Amino acid sequence: MTKTDLVKFSEIMTVVAEDFGGTLSAAGMESRFRLLQEYSIDQVSKAGTWLLKNREKTFPAVPTTKEFIDAIEGMSSPKVTPRSQAEIQVDIVLHKLKYFGRSAPIDFEHPITFKLMTTRWPYGTWSMHVKTDELKWFRKEFIEAFIAYSEVEQAEGKVLDGPQQLKELADMTVRAIQ
């Protein structure tokens, strides 16, 4: 946003504040404008509309700057939870097992799935020995392991990009040990 957007910004903030039964001081308005300046006036407007339609909290009366930022970022890139990703990835593994059996290529695109199916459950060996009645337990354990890896990678700020990066990580580990 630029200074030319200040009037429109003030209108948006005033309407949102009034709708929730609050008011904003001039200093509060200026502070919010500075903090939200990296976003476009259109994004701020859409976030205000989203908050008016979806905000469930009643305290504080005026949505915080963080609520606006979360609304903007949530609209621009909806977050997929690790659990949702895990559910999809376990279905991919089970689909491969069902249609290709143990001769399936180990070409899982998701780095965590690739890691799990080459280290924890080496696909070739696992696919030869897994029994149909064990698949419900596999599903549960895979999802738990996938979520754990996702959380660790988020905490460490890195994502493994599949076979090549795993090889590089292994090489780095070997060099560190030597």
Pair 97, 130: CB distance under 8 Å: yes
The tokens for 162 are: 């599949």
Tell me the pLDDT of the chain averaged across its residues. Answer: 87
Pair 111, 150: CB distance under 8 Å: no
C-alpha span between 154 and 157 (Å, rounded):
5
Dihedral of CA 142/143/149/152: which sign?
negative
pTM score > 0.75 for this model?
no
Q: How far is CA 174 from CA 87, 115, 160, 177, in A?
A: 33, 18, 17, 5
Average pLDDT over residues 78-83: 78
Domain segments of the chain as ranges = 3-76, 82-177
At 77 the pLDDT is 66
At 130 the pLDDT is 93
Residue type, 155: A
pLDDT per residue over 122-167, tens digit each? 999 999 999 999 999 999 999 999 999 998 887 776 555 555 555 6
At 93 the pLDDT is 96
